[in-house]
Structure formats: C-alpha cells, structure tokens
Amino acid sequence: MIKNMLKISFRLILIICLLIPGTIDPLAVYAASKANTIAELKEELNKLKQEKAQSDNEKELTQSQINQNIQNIQNADKEKAQIQEEVTAAQNKITECEKEIEEVTVETQELLKYYQLTQGENQYIEYITGASSTTELIMRIAAVEQISDYNQKKLKELDALIIEKQNLQVELAEKEKELEAKIDASAAAISSLKGQLSALNEVNEDIDSQINNQNALIKYYEGICDSDTQPLSECVKVASNSGWTKPLVKGKVTSNWGYRVDPITGAASSFHNAVDIGGNAEGTPIYSGTNGTVAAITRKSSCGGNMIYIHSEVNGKAYTIQYAHVLTVNVKVGQTVTINDVIATVGGGAQTSYYDRCSTGAHLHYGISTGYYLGGGADGYSSWSKFVASSVKPVGFPAKGVWWYSRF
C-alpha cells in the first residue's frame, strides 16, 4: 500500500536548475511509475483509505483489550480491599478469642480455685466435705465437674476458632498474592497493548498523511491536466539540479551523519541518517537545499515532529531530502520548490517538545537518501528501513562545531 504512495510526485519539478540548466525527458520519469493518470492516483487513494479503515479497526480492538485489562485491575483491587477487610476481621476475632480464653480461665480460677486444685491443695476437699448432706455433696461434686468440663470445652472451641482464623489469614494472604500476580500481568498487558496502540497510531498518522498527500497530488494534477485519463507525463515538464546548497544561511553541525551515541536512548552505536544543524533559534527560515517537488509531509510525529520530504534529481540521480523537527511547514504536497523558497522554520525546541520527544533542542535534522522515498518506479520505495539504509552523507558541510555563514 505505502509503496504506491505519491510515487509520481517527483514528476512535478517545474524549476530552474541549480547551477547548470538541463532538461530531461519526462517520460523517462513517468514510465517507471504504475500511476500514470489521475484515475490511477484515485485508485491508490482508495487503497490507502481501506488500509486506514483496517488500522482503525485494529486500534479499536487494541483499545478494547486495554480497557478490559484496566477493568481487571480495578476488579482485583476491589478484591484485595475485601481481602484486607477479611484479614483484619480474622485478626480481630483471634484477639477476641484470646481475650475470652483469658476471661474464662480467670473465671474458672475464681470459682473453683483452679490453680490450687491443680497443685493438689485442699480447697477442693474442703468444698466437697463442707456439704451438709449426701445430696448436697453429690451436687457439689457434679457442679465442679460440670464447670471443669465446660471450661475445657470452651477452651477447645476457642483454640479451634483461633486456628481456623489463622488458617484463613494464610489463605487470604495466598489469594492476595494471586491477585497481585493478576494485577502485574494485566499491567504488563496494558503496557504491551499501549505500545501496540502507539505503533498503530504512528501507522495511522502515517496513513492519514499519505491520504492528505495523495489528495493534494490529485488536486494539483486536476488543475493542470485536461482529464482523469490524460497521461501525467503530458501535464508537466521537469528540470534537474547540478549541485547542492545548504538549507540554512548560517549554523553548525552539532551531530554528524553516521554512527553515534543516541542522545535520547543512550545507545552506544546508533545510526544517524542525517546531520543535525544547530545554532539557530526556533522560527529561523529553512530553505530547500535543492530544486524539487514536495513528496510528503508528516505532522506532529512523536519522533521527528513535523517533517518534509522533497524529491530532487541532482546530476541525473534521484534523491529524497528529509527536513525534520521543523516548527512550521510552508509548503504543500505536490508543490515545486526552488533553492530560494523558504519551505519551513526551525523547530525541535520548547515550542514542539510537547509532541516531538526525539529532540534535545532547536535544530534541523537534514537527511539525504538515494531514490524516491514514498515514490514509484525503479527509484521509488516506501520502506522506512530502506530510506535509512539508502542514506548518504550530506555534502558541503564543514566539520562538526564549525560555523558557516553562507548557503553556497
């Protein structure tokens, strides 16, 4: 789907060459593209819309799964709260039983002089022999036995109840651990699902950008072509560049093209497919480094912010130039630009930090790759990984940290 995106936008280059003018046969450009008419561009647009609908469905499903896991955590938290109440109730019951045991023991001691009886002293005999009749004697003996039996039974019941509540505490503690495990599992699932949702959002944002870009291209061609079936090669003429200029009037390279320590993640060997140009405040004008055609615009990406991709031909070779972390975008898809056009302004600082998380300060990320990213034909491709792999070191810049004060 993405490979078909804007694959003919580079055909719009109606410009004056950079240093030495030269005209190329537009058919050489268009012959490699599958979309040769506005009608075919519209077919590609419908495919993008279908892809967006599928992405939206995936997002909805993922969000539903996130919501279910959130509900699972909430339910587990409620169960934990109930368990904690039950644990507290069990502990209180144990305390009550222990107090009752103490009271029963004291009561029995007072009634029967328990300690003296167990120690073999004569209070028991005095109590028994103090009876005034045989009947009273029997009653006194029975009373002592009943009180003793009741005491023993009561103490056993209380001991059993304590054991029961202690076992309940153990069971509740195990259940609480299980709930903690469920909560951790749900939290991990939410984290994973949010990662998927974030990726889907990025994909969806990309599709939205492509749809907008495709609509812009169709509108552009509808303004210069006679019909939806007229070959696009008959609608425009193209010109080429013979060199490069810098995109900023002044600045300095703050991070070179190639492998480096990633300033965001700290990765020791991270490939940087551009040069970072610092030394300019947010809002500083950014010029097109080449004559070319705006192929794509991405807005408010979480890593890169606003980005512009321009297709250019330099010395007969196809290139895509990337301008990332820009504050404002002053061009539209399908627009032809020259080296004298201000296409954007510098961003990457405080004004874009709320959505662009891959910038440590105001600067321009200026990258060049061979071929037409999001373009068609033999030079076209849609894979981001291929765009990075096709990256080449921008030429004409001084060493890192050295200032320049001219675009030429």
State pTM to two decimals: 0.52
Q: Can you read off the two tokens belonging to residue 57? A: 């469905």
pLDDT at 360 > cutoff 60? yes
| Top-confidence range, 34-38, 180-184, 187-191, 322-326 | 322-326
pLDDT digits (tens, 9 = 90+) for 45-64: 888 889 889 888 988 898 88
Q: What is the DSSP letter of 301?
A: E
| Top-confidence range, 82-86, 240-244, 337-341 | 337-341
pLDDT digits (tens, 9 = 90+) for 321-352: 999 999 999 998 888 999 999 999 999 999 99
- Own/partner pairs, 349-353, CB within 8 angstroms, 24+ separation: 349/281, 349/282, 350/282, 351/282, 351/327, 352/282, 352/305, 352/306, 352/325, 352/327
pLDDT at 4 > cutoff 80? no
Nearest to 327 by CA among 353, 291, 292: 353
Mean pLDDT of 195-216: 67
324: which strand partners?
A: 365
pLDDT digits (tens, 9 = 90+) for 210-227: 787 678 778 777 877 888
Amino acid type, 382: S
pLDDT at 398 > cutoff 90? yes
Residue 348's pLDDT is 95
- Look at 155 and 95; give whichever has higher pLDDT: 95
Nearest to 397 by CA among 257, 301, 303, 236: 257
For all residues of the chain together, what is the average pLDDT?
77
Whether 6 contacts 374, CB under 8 Å = yes
Of 165-169, 240-244, 279-283, 386-390, the least confident: 165-169
